[in-house]
Amino acid sequence: MKNLQLNSEGRLKHFLSIDGLNKEILTEILDTAESFASMSEQRVKKVPLLRGKTIVNLFFENSTRTRTTFELAATRLSADVLSMNIATSATSKGESLLDTIRNLEAMHVDMFVVRHAISGAGHYIAQNTAPHISVINAGDGQHAHPTQAMLDMYTIRQYKHDFSQLKVAIIGDILHSRVARSQIQALNMLGTKEIRVIAPKTLLPPQVESMGVRSFNTLEKGLQDVDVVIMLRLQKERMTSALLPSEREYFKCFGLTEQRLKLAKSNAIVMHPGPINRGVEIESSIADGDQSVILQQVSNGIAVRMAIMSLTMQSKGEGL
Amino acid sequence: MSKIHIRDGRIIDPANQLDQVGDVYIADGKILTIQETPSDFSADININAKDKIICPGFIDLSVRLREPGKSYKGTIASETAAAASAGVTSLCLPPDTSPVIDTQAVTELIADKSEKALYPQVLPIGALTQGLEGKELSSMYALKQAGCLAVSNSNKPPSSLLVLRRAMEYASTHDLLVIVRPDDPALGNNGCAHEGVFATRYGLPGIPEASESIAVAQYLELAELTGCRVHFSQLSCKRSVIKIQQAKKYGLQVSADVAIHQLHLTENDIEAFNSNYHVLPPFRTTEDKKYLRESLANSTINCICSDHQPHDIDAKLGAFPETEAGISALETLLPLMLKLVDDNAISLSQGIAALSHHPAQTLGIEKGRLTPAQAADICIFDPELSWTVNHDSWKSAGRNTPYWGETFKGRVTHTLQGGKLIYTL
């Protein structure tokens, strides 16, 4: 099957999922992000790499953090940015996804950053858009959120350096999480020693081990000796769809408390893609504590998205 | 009516245990003789069937024509033409048309239109409940009078087991077969792919096997309770078949079919996010496929259907879960059956029986065999002729097939229905 994400020279053309990429590309993204990160600390934060390019943020699903960091990343690359909140725009008037894309294409844009509630929407747009346009997936359904995964990899590398020695635990709603899927794929691609997922059976995908992880149903077992603890956000609707009894019970079993964090290595870092539910999946004192790198993740998001945007825009021609 | 002489073909007629090279003579729409030259016979049409196979016309147990109701996806004319080119001489039309086949009037309208199309015989399946809503019984006696051989609730199983029980009792009162596509929609939970490795990897809502096998178990219990004849259609997984196997062992009168693509594709074959692979029930595991093939070989599953579901282009545009399920499958039916023979999964005679003799038995009709004095419904095909699925070869209005662009071996050259040549390559 053709690899939609790479051009004929094997360079990144679209960034839709970690699946289908390779270690070299992921490392290149991380290295490029590193060079942009040092720039953020300077007085002039802009580079002219994407001057004259037009980037459209197409958000079919609400988001503050992801959209803002994409906007900032594009601005720092000197691109022109237009953010569209489609949830309240054309499609609510009955325009199809394809027609929305075609109309924007006609306005000569160079890149779409897309968030959509349905798995595969990013692939669908990439398959149907004009050849000169790059598509970046900012989260599609339960499928993938690859820029989030890359900023997480960046953060892990920043603190832990060598993936081959690491034990990483991902805790929470793995079943519905596009973040977890992309993280698992990226961690595996970068050679992580051991990846664990910890959740009640109702929130674990069937045959999750096929993704290259060990699964646990209790924090007590799963957290033993891990170097990285990644918490996932628990959506309220999981309670109404009979997947969990209550937030309280969830916190009792799967909430990250100081007591439980002691099971991990003493220098373990705690991550969360945000927004966090204090007292539901994580205790406040941990979210704000020494081991938490949650805000660092947000800062890193800008550099990593700058790297991904500039790399996809530098590759020429259509995908294979 | 034309007198037709088919020469020198390999005649395979599983019902009469016939497999030999010879001639078939047709007059007055019926088979006159096989092998023996009738006296005073001068043919109006001569068909040279050398190196070809002559077999009973195929009887397809599930073909969506899309008319009435969704003629932008396909029409009785376009889809029966596709069926004729696939060697199909009779086809069952599930009742989920619009309006639903729950009155005599709709049944007659469809019969009328398909007669005008002059293509395969269309056998409308009546609705089990009014409007397929699963609440009130349909007028099954009237439907039977209008020509329905079976009733079904199509892809919308009644949510109440009590209604289902009564519907099955009533169907059994009128000796109507109940056709079931077993599915528990609550467990399916609007999924679009088999709940397994593929769905997990791509974050697609999954459908567990249990959503089918639990429904099979319920229908088997109700068949026992009501004495109703049940035919399970489009089975997808091993666990369902095991339940049917056990029930048959204890003497329950049930039969089953499988959609041809389930015998070839699994979740591993799905191209990521290619909506042409979106089908319900979903493609399952390699083990399920293997078991379905074995069950066909040992006759636990005795029929193959195409589960033909043509779609317009828009229906398949969009991200995978948003698209409509179904494959335009009539025209790849024969080559995919022949591929099963090539794979040594079944014999050629078994494959032909699963497409003709067995569906006829299931429906209780005098078809699916090459018997003198019976209607001349015949398919002639060249098992070696290779062809490519493309715009030039395709007849169906729906081009939604995962096999688009693929080259196959085996193609129908002539189709006769009631002694009329309804298709010539």
Shortest CA gap B153–chain A (Å): 28
Going by their DSSP bridges, the two strands B53-56 and B58-60 should be labelled as unpaired
Closest residue on chain A to B205 (Cα) = A142
Q: Which residues pair with B6 in a beta bridge?
A: B24, B47
Shortest CA gap B302–chain A (Å): 32
Task: Return the pLDDT at B385.
Answer: 98
Residues of chain A with Cβ-Cβ distance to B203 below 8 Å are 119, 140-144, 178, 181
Q: Is A66 a catalytic residue?
A: yes
**Stretch B30-40: mean pLDDT:** 92
Q: Is the pLDDT of residue A91 over 60?
A: no
Any CB–CB contact under 8 A between A210 and chain B? yes
Q: Look-up: residue for tokens 């299931």?
A: B362
User: Strand, coil or helix: what is A202?
Assistant: helix
Any CB–CB contact under 8 A between A211 and chain B? yes
How far apart CA B369 and CA B378 sit, in angstroms, is: 9
Cβ separation A207–B319 shorter than 8 A: no
Cβ separation A206–B272 shorter than 8 A: no
Residues 315-354, chain B, touching A (beta carbon < 8 A): 317-322
DSSP state of B137: B
Task: Return the pLDDT at B16.
Answer: 96
- Extended strands (E) in B49-180: 53-56, 58-60, 88-93, 121-124, 126-127, 150-152, 177-180
Task: Return the pLDDT at A94.
Answer: 60
Any CB–CB contact under 8 A between B68 and chain A? no
Catalytic, out of B307, B312, B342, B392: B307
Q: What is the pLDDT of residues B288-340, one digit of tens each?
A: 999 999 999 999 999 999 999 999 999 999 899 999 999 999 999 999 999 99
Amino acid at A66: T
Q: How distant, in Å, are the alpha carbons of A35, A44, B112, B294, B381 from that of B50?
A: 74, 83, 37, 32, 10
Amino acid at B405: G
- What are the φ and ψ backbone dihedral angles of A266, each rounded to 5 degrees? -65, -25
Res. A172 pLDDT band, cuts 50 70 90: very high
- Per the CB < 8 A criterion, the answer to whether B30 and B419 are in contact is yes
Q: Is the pLDDT of residue B215 over 80?
A: yes
How far apart CA B92 and CA B148 sit, in angstroms, is: 10
Any CB–CB contact under 8 A between A181 and chain B? yes
- What are the CB-based long-range contacts (under 8 Å, 24+) for A283-288? A283/A255, A283/A256, A283/A257, A283/A258, A285/A258, A286/A256, A286/A257, A286/A258, A286/A261
How far apart CA A177 and CA A169 sit, in angstroms, is: 14
- Per the CB < 8 A criterion, the answer to whether A2 and A314 are in contact is no
Determine which helix (DSSP H) or strand (DSSP E) holds A271, and give its type and residue range. strand A269-271
Residue in A97, A120, A207 nearest the CB of B273: A120
Cβ separation A205–B320 shorter than 8 A: no
Task: Return the pLDDT at B66.
Answer: 96
Cβ separation B203–A144 shorter than 8 A: yes
Cβ separation B319–A140 shorter than 8 A: yes
| Chain B interface disruption, residue of A21, A118, A179, most B CBs within 10 A | A118
Res. A318 pLDDT band, cuts 50 70 90: very low
**Stretch B125-134: mean pLDDT:** 97
Task: Return the pLDDT at B64.
Answer: 97
Output the pTM of the full model.
Answer: 0.92
Q: What is the pLDDT of residues B135-157, one digit of tens each?
A: 999 999 999 999 999 999 999 99
> Which ipTM was obtained for this model?
0.89
Amino acid at B243: K
Q: What is the pLDDT of residues A97-152, one digit of tens each?
A: 888 888 889 989 999 999 999 999 999 999 999 999 999 999 999 999 999 999 99
Q: Is A196 a catalytic residue?
A: no
**Stretch A220-225: mean pLDDT:** 96
Interface A:B, Cβ pairs < 8 A: 72
Amino acid at A41: E
Question: What percentage of chain B reaches a pLDDT higher than 70?
Answer: 100
Note the helical H segments in B370-414. none
Query: Cis omega (within 30 of 0) on the bond before A275?
Result: yes
Shortest CA gap B209–chain A (Å): 12
- What are the φ and ψ backbone dihedral angles of B296, each rounded to 5 degrees? -70, -40
Of B230, B80, B212, which is closest to residue B155 (Cα–Cα)? B212
Any CB–CB contact under 8 A between A118 and chain B? yes
Going by their DSSP bridges, the two strands B88-93 and B150-152 should be labelled as unpaired
Shortest CA gap A207–chain B (Å): 6
Q: Look-up: residue for tokens 């991550």?
A: A271
**Stretch B60-79: mean pLDDT:** 95
Task: Return the pLDDT at A89.
Answer: 55
Residues of chain B with Cβ-Cβ distance to A144 below 8 Å are 203
- Per the CB < 8 A criterion, the answer to whether B19 and B352 are in contact is no
Q: Which string of b and e fits B140-153 if b means at least 16 CB within 10 Å? A: bebbbebebbbbbb
How far apart CA A66 and CA B106 sit, in angstroms, is: 54
Shortest CA gap A1–chain B (Å): 7
Determine which helix (DSSP H) or strand (DSSP E) holds A270, and give its type and residue range. strand A269-271
Q: Is B96 a catalytic residue?
A: no
Residues 6+ apart with CB under 8 A from A219: A171, A198, A253, A254, A256, A260, A263
Query: Cis omega (within 30 of 0) on the bond before B281?
Result: yes
